[in-house]
Amino acid sequence: MSNEAAKFIEARDFFFNVGSYEEAYEKFEWPRVTKFNWATDYFDDMARGNQKDALIYCDESGGEKIVSFDKMSRRSSQVANFLNDLGLQKGDRVMIMMDTSVEIFEIILGIMKAGGAIIPAATLLSSNDISDRIERGNVKFIIAHRHFAERIDQAGDNLKKLTAKICVRDDLELPKCTNELVEPDWVDYTDSEKYKEDFKPFFVTYSTDDLFLFFTSGTTAKPKLVMHSHHYPIGHLTTMYWLDVKPDDIHYNISAPGWAKFAWSSFFAPWNAGATVLTFRYSQFNPKSVLEKIEKYKVTSLCAPLSVWKLFLLEDLKSYNLSLTKLVSAGEPLNPEIVNKVKDLLGLDLKEGYGQTETTGLVATFKGMKIKDGAMGKVAPGYEVKILDSVLDEVPRNQDGQIAVATFPVKPLGLLSGYDDEERNKEIFKGGWYLTGDTAYMDDEGYIHFIGRVDDVFKSLDYRISPFEVESEIMEHAAILEVGVISTVDDKSRIVPKAFIVLKPDYRPTKEMALELFRFIRDHMAPYKRPRSIEFMEAFPKTISAKVMRKDLRAYDQKLKEENKRGEYEFYEKDFAEELNLRKR
């Protein structure tokens, strides 16, 4: 084991053995590493001769494959040798466009070993999106499942910049990506099986070399390219600590491979701990089949976003014989109603975590910490986080400001190197701080309460409105599946909240339903933040990472206003003036 890897192990074991969050926050220090490749220096050493299950793969057709750590190490070394033989040089960028599979895990490891930098791509990208990513990401290699090959081949002239395109079989039944199935200029991934099972790097990996480059989901603007170095896996020690995952856990994270959350919780955090990872491939999310897999494979640790927890709660959770002991959620702020329901049904705490594509686990409810309604938790060890105003002064407790991460005197190892846009870097790195673009407040106990993106928070009648806060209160109604709140303008040109609502399957978007919700809103919410209009929708516009596109909701509402129309299932509070006993305003 290298000296640098030993430092990593020491830092990892600190979290395994620390007694309390307070001790962890006070004593943890990032290891100083200069030359470090997580795949060769840590994973291979940990995996050599290790017959423990590293990965359990299953799919909706009944396919199953279980891979040991030793096998994963040897297979990924074959991939590294294969890529180098195809011409991959240190620093070359490789775009991966694949569904979850055994292959994607060995490919990520193989690219790391071979010196490449990884650009995950969402599988719903259009040909134009692919072309844009090839150009802006300076992509040299593409590795894709066969059924994405045709779409990639339509990406235009930017394909000429590639050194190689590599085709991976679609499923367990398809033996090879032959030229009968794809264009002749695609290389068959199964060729990698011919290479040696040991890999010796011919270069030095510095901890500051590029490792992962993520395109953000673009909820408010064109997707940005977020760059992380080989420090990044070490940074995910904070994610591991939040998950509280240990070597004897079977961990399942519900996330698509095209996003940073997959790297967070399906890859680095569980394998930092030496735990077993479950991955489940399906064409469409079905809560029943997912719960059946969680039951079958005796999953002990589960990570899922709010949208998934909502669907789980529509099922009879008590009918499953679950082995779960640890539950977490990230990606969307948790509503207290969801946390309480999960506790009632499963007897377990659902612990929230907060971070960004630009960070690792940044704020969370950690092991042993009480859950506080409406709070994400406290600052992760290794990070210094403050709530700052517009001139970068810390605001008093319980006052709103922007979440900021200190980059001086120590820059956390889980923090991005930067964007591919120097002007944008100047905006986010200021005065020794990284500015997240998220607003929150810190209470007297040090818990951080999320308010929203800077662009989403608005004022109504001189009151600050947090869409998340309003959504959380409306979510308490039994008929609600999802809520999205934006600012709109009423007939007197005042800025007021509007709530878009998706109902649970047993409810219908009727006038009677609207009246019931307005009554609920008036009984449960302060007057200044009550939505003055609600509109029922079948589904929300979302990014391909499943985040609600508020900008699209705002644009849709603005179009209605310009055309002097109301939505098909839109209702105003004033429509029920008599029933609600409204005073004339």
For 138-142, 327-331, 537-541, 566-570, which range has the lowest pLDDT when averaged over its residues?
Answer: 537-541
pLDDT band at 228 (very low <50, low <70, confident <90, very high): very high
Residue 479 in 3-state DSSP?
Answer: coil
Q: Is the pLDDT of residue 125 over 50?
A: yes
Tell me how far apart the alpha carbons of residues 86 and 454 are, in angstroms, rounded to a whole number. Answer: 45
Tokens 């975590």 -> residue: 353
Task: Retrieve residue 251's tokens.
Answer: 């961990």
Q: Is the pLDDT of residue 332 over 60?
A: yes
Tell me, what's the pLDDT at 153?
A: 93
Q: Is the pLDDT of residue 202 over 50?
A: yes
- Would residue 213 count as lying in a domain? yes
Tell me how far apart the alpha carbons of residues 412 and 239 are, in angstroms, rounded to a whole number. Answer: 13
Tell me how far apart the alpha carbons of residues 196 and 75 are, in angstroms, rounded to a whole number. Answer: 9
- Would residue 327 count as lying in a domain? no
Q: Report the percentage of the chain scoring pLDDT > 90.
A: 72
What confidence tens digit (pLDDT) does each residue in 371-386 have? 999 899 999 999 999 9
- Comparing CA positions, the residue from 32, 15, 34 lying closest to residue 381 is 15
Tell me, what's the pLDDT at 469?
A: 78
Tell me, what's the pLDDT at 393?
A: 97
Average pLDDT over the chain, rounded to an integer: 91
Tell me how far apart the alpha carbons of residues 214 and 562 are, in angstroms, rounded to a whole number. Answer: 37
What confidence tens digit (pLDDT) does each residue in 472-529 have? 889 889 999 989 888 888 877 778 889 999 999 999 999 999 999 999 998 888 787 8
- Would residue 530 count as lying in a domain? yes
**Paired strand residues for 303:** 253, 328
- Would residue 195 count as lying in a domain? yes
- Would residue 177 count as lying in a domain? yes
Tell me, what's the pLDDT at 527?
A: 83
Final residue of a structural domain among 229, 256, 275:
229
Return phi, psi of residue 269, to 5°: -60, -50
445-460: average pLDDT: 81
- Would residue 178 count as lying in a domain? yes
- Would residue 368 count as lying in a domain? no
What confidence tens digit (pLDDT) does each residue in 85-103 have? 999 999 999 999 999 999 9
Cis amide prior to 527 (ω within 30 degrees):
no
Continuous H helices in 475-572: 511-524, 550-562
Q: Report the percentage of the chain scoring pLDDT > 70.
A: 94
Tell me, what's the pLDDT at 549?
A: 72
| CATH value at residue 481 | 3.30.300.30
- Would residue 396 count as lying in a domain? no
249-277: average pLDDT: 95
Q: DSSP class of residue 462? A: T
Q: Is the pLDDT of residue 415 over 60?
A: yes
Final residue of a structural domain among 229, 256, 285:
229
Tell me, what's the pLDDT at 492?
A: 74
Our measurement of the distance from residue 556's CA atom to the centroid of its chain's CA atoms, rounded to an integer in Å, reads 26
Continuous H helices in 236-280: 237-243, 260-262, 269-272
- Domain housing 184: 33-229
Q: How many domains are there within the chain?
A: 2
Task: Retrieve residue 437's tokens.
Answer: 């673009």
Tokens 């030095």 -> residue: 204
Distances (CA, A) of 42 to 4, 8, 197: 9, 8, 17
350-367: average pLDDT: 96
Residue 79 in 3-state DSSP?
Answer: helix
Residue 110 in 3-state DSSP?
Answer: helix
| CATH value at residue 43 | 3.40.50.12780
Tell me how far apart the alpha carbons of residues 303 and 306 are, in angstroms, rounded to a whole number. Answer: 10
State the sign of the Cα–Cα–Cα–Cα dihedral 322, 324, 327, 331.
negative
Do residues 272 and 233 lie in contact, with contact meaning Cβ atoms separated by under 8 Å?
yes
- Comparing CA positions, the residue from 40, 41, 29, 44 lying closest to residue 4 is 41
Final residue of a structural domain among 177, 200, 229:
229
